[in-house]
Amino acid sequence: MTLYRLPPLPTIREIIKLYNLRAEKQLSQNFLLDLKLTDKIVRKAGNLKNAYVCEVGPGPGGITRAILNTGVEELLVVEKDTRFIPGLKMLNEASLGKVRIVHGDILTYRMDRAFPNHLKKAWEDDPPNVHIIGNLPFNVSTPLIIKWLEEMANRTGPFTYGRTPMTLTFQCEVAQRMTAPTGGKQRSRLSIMTQYLCQVKHCFSIPGRAFVPKPEVDVGVVHFTPLIKPKIDQPFKLIEKVVQSVFQLRRKYCYRGVSLLFPEEQRTQLTEQILTLANVEPTLRPSELSMKHFQGLCNAYRELCDRDPSLFSYNFREELRQKKKMKGQDIQINEESETL
Ligand code: SAM
C-alpha cells in the first residue's frame, strides 16, 4: 500500500498538452506515460521512504510522480529542457516543496554537492540514503554511465556520499552488454568496466512501444550498486586501457589485442610476459576472459609499467593515426574495432 499519494493532478498526457511539450527529436525525448511502468522502475530502486533522490531528465514528470508517491524526503530533478520547468514546479507545489528543480545538464552538474553533507557514509558502510534514478536519452545515458563509473572508482561525484545506488534506463543492447557474463555474446568492454566496480542487474525490459514517441529499440532498466571492494585493484585509467586493447580485436585470439598495449619493437616479448604473469591462455577469445583473467592482466600490466614507466604512455591508436596521417590515408582504425 502506498501511503504518500500526491493530490489529484492533471495526467501526464494533459500536462504535455497544457504546456505544449512536443518531444524534441534532437534531444531524443521519449516519454513514459504508463503509470504502472513508472511505478515498476521506481520500485527497482528499493525502499525510498525518507530518501534523498536525484532524478535525471524528469521531462513531463511520469517517473517524478512515482518517486514522490514513495514518500521521499527530497527529490532533486536535473532537467536540461526549459519547457519542462513549469510542469515540475507544479509537482513541487503538489508535494509541498519536496522537489528541488535544477535547470541544467547532468553531464556537468556537480553531484558531489547535490545533497546535505550529513548523508555521507563511509565506503565500507551500507549504501547512503541517496539514490539516482533516470530515464535519459541513450546518447546521454552511455557517456554519463562511463563518467559515473570513473567517479565510482575515484569515489567522487555522486559517490562522495558513499556507495550511491542507481537505477537507470539504457538501450536494451547496452543493458545486455553491461550485464553479459564470461563467454556471453554481448561480452564487451562495458561488461568489464561495469562489473569490476558494481553489482549490476538488468531488472526488466520495456518494449519501445510503451514510449511516446516510440524509439527504434527496446529499453532495459538497470540497477547498479557499487561494490565495497572493486574486483580489480588498479587505477581506472589503467584498467580502461587494458580492457580497450583486449577488445580492440574482439573476434581474434586475445593475445592479439593484448599485444597492442606495447610498442612494436617490444611487442612479442612483452605480450608473452604479460600473458605468463597473468596466467592467461593466449588463444582464448576476448569474450571468454573472466574477471579473474582481467584482474591478472591489469596487475601484470601494472608490474610491467612499474618496471618501465614509459610503457603506459604508449598508445596504439595514436601510433596508427600518425602512420596513416603520414601516408595521407583516411583514418580507419580497423574493421572490427569494438563497440563499447
Ligand atoms: N523521464 C521522462 C520520462 O520517462 O518520460 C523523460 C524521458 S526523456 C527520454 C529524457 C529527458 O532527459 C528529457 O526530458 C530531456 O530533456 C532530458 N535531458 C536530455 N539530456 C539531458 C541532460 N544532459 N541533462 C539533463 N536532462 C537531460
Residues sharing a CB contact under 8 Å with residue 89, sequence separation 6 or more, in sequence order: 101
24 CB under 6 A from ligand 1? no
In the 8-state DSSP scheme, what is residue 60? T
The set of long-range contacts for 231-237, using a CB threshold of 8 Å and a minimum separation of 24, is 231/195, 231/196, 231/197, 231/291, 231/295, 232/196, 232/291, 232/294, 232/295, 232/298, 232/299, 233/295, 233/299, 234/298, 234/299, 234/302, 235/153, 236/149, 236/150, 236/153, 236/154
Q: How far is CA 9 from the centre of its chain?
A: 33
Q: In sequence order, what are the beta bridge partners of 103?
A: 79
pLDDT < 70: residue spans in the chain: 1-3, 19, 23, 25-27, 328-340
DSSP per-residue string spanning 244-283: HHHHHTTTS-HHHHHHTTS-GGGHHHHHHHHHHHHT--TT
Per-residue model confidence as pLDDT tens digits over 261-275 = 999 999 999 999 999
| Residues comprising the chain, all counted | 340
pLDDT of residue 321: 83
CA of 133 to the centre of ligand 1 (A): 12
Closest ligand 1 atom to residue 136 Cα is 10
140 CB under 6 A from ligand 1? yes
Residues sharing a CB contact under 8 Å with residue 302, sequence separation 6 or more, in sequence order: 234, 238
158 CB under 6 A from ligand 1? no
Residue with cell 538488468: 202
29 CB under 6 A from ligand 1? yes
Per-residue model confidence as pLDDT tens digits over 126-169 = 999 999 999 998 889 999 999 999 999 999 999 999 999 999 99
DSSP per-residue string spanning 214-248: PPSS-EEEEEEEE-SS-SS-S-HHHHHHHHHHHHH
What does the alpha-carbon distance between residue 199 and residue 197 come to, in Å, rounded to a whole number? 7
55 CB under 6 A from ligand 1? no
Q: How far is CA 54 from the centre of its chain?
A: 15
23 CB under 6 A from ligand 1? no
Phi-psi label, residue 166: left if phi above 0, alpha if psi -120 to 50, beta otherwise: beta
**pTM check: above 0.90:** yes
What does the alpha-carbon distance between residue 39 and residue 113 come to, in Å, rounded to a whole number? 28
Closest ligand 1 atom to residue 144 Cα is 23
Residue nearest to atom 1 of ligand 1 (CA): 58
84 CB under 6 A from ligand 1? yes
pLDDT of residue 124: 98
